[in-house]
Amino acid sequence: MSKQNDKGISAVSPVEGGRRPTGTGETKAAPKRFWAQHKTEAVLRLLRGEDMETLRRELGVTAAKLSQWRDTFLASGADGLKKRSPAEEAEYRRLNEKIGEQTMEIELLREKIRLLEAKAPLGWRRSRK
């Protein structure tokens, strides 16, 4: 229902889809699914001192969820700062070498299977004696 005021300008009532008088109508909707980047940005805003209540309302999540994100971020951040011990570093190198050896062996076996399926002659090799 459009109504005209005394100056001849029509006003749209809220029933017809006009803006609500309490807001600008230009609020940005929070994502329904928060990816790691969204969570990290929210946690960093919390850690910089933003009010949790304001942030919670802006994002449309509970204070408990924000606290959980913050605690998870801080826990993994502490783990990320830890260095490996020399024994762990040696084991890491040994396992990476083992992965490399197994990858090469798998590639050679796949090539051998391909040749056998094609009934092509295998390469000549010396005896292991």
- Give the global pTM: 0.42
For 30-39, 65-74, 93-102, which range has the lowest pLDDT when averaged over its residues? 30-39
Mean local confidence (pLDDT), 118-127: 71
Say yes or no to pLDDT of 2 above 70.
no
Say yes or no to pLDDT of 124 above 50.
yes
Amino acid found at 125: R
Query: pLDDT over 90 for what percent of the chain?
Result: 33
- Domain ranges for the chain, please list them: 31-82, 84-120
Say yes or no to pLDDT of 103 above 90.
yes
Query: Please, what is the average pLDDT of the chain?
Result: 77
Pairwise CA distance, residues 53 & 37, whole Å: 20
Q: Nearest 5 degrees, angle CA 7-CA 12-CA 15?
A: 150
Residue 16: DSSP 8-state: G
Q: Helix (H, G, I), strand (E, B), or coil: what is residue 64?
A: helix
